[in-house]
């Protein structure tokens, strides 16, 4: 147990020192797991609340499309729809 705890602590400190990044808690709602699994690969999730609550449904669709078409995010169509729906209903 002690070994595991030390290893995890070491990992957490290394991460904190290198990135200074803290977890961003988004609204718990269906689709959040797809948002976390896809969006957080390239950017921290604070981009989402930062850009709220002023985007309408078309605005959020445009953001998801931009991530895929302009930035090459490897998000499949099914996930893209779930992500867009999550953003529209929560932010």
- Return residues touching another protein (CB under 8 A): 4-5, 8-9, 11-13, 15-17, 19-24, 36, 40-44, 46-55, 59, 63, 70-74, 91
Q: How far is the CB of 67 from another protein (least distance, A)?
A: 9
Residue among 27, 31, 26 nearest 78 (CA): 31
Q: How far is the CB of 81 from another protein (least distance, A)?
A: 19
Structure tokens at 29: 């709602």
> How far does CA 58 lie from the centroid of its chain?
19
Closer of 30 and 33 to another protein (Cβ): 33
Asked if 73 and 42 count as a contact pair (C-beta separation under 8 A), the reply is yes
Closer of 19 and 78 to another protein (Cβ): 19
Instruction: Establish whether the linkage from the previous residue to 46 is cis, with ω within 30° of 0.
Output: no
Closer of 27 and 30 to another protein (Cβ): 27
């Amino acid at each position: 147990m002690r070994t595991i705890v030390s290893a995890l602590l070491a990992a957490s400190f290394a991460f904190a020192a290198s990135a200074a990044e803290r977890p961003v808690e988004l609204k718990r709602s269906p689709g959040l797991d797809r948002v976390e699994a896809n969006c957080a690969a390239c950017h921290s999730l604070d981009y989402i609340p930062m850009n709220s609550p002023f985007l309408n449904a078309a605005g959020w669709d445009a953001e998801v499309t931009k991530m895929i078409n302009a930035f090459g995010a490897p998000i499949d169509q099914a996930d893209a729809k779930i992500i867009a729906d999550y953003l529209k209903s929560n932010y």
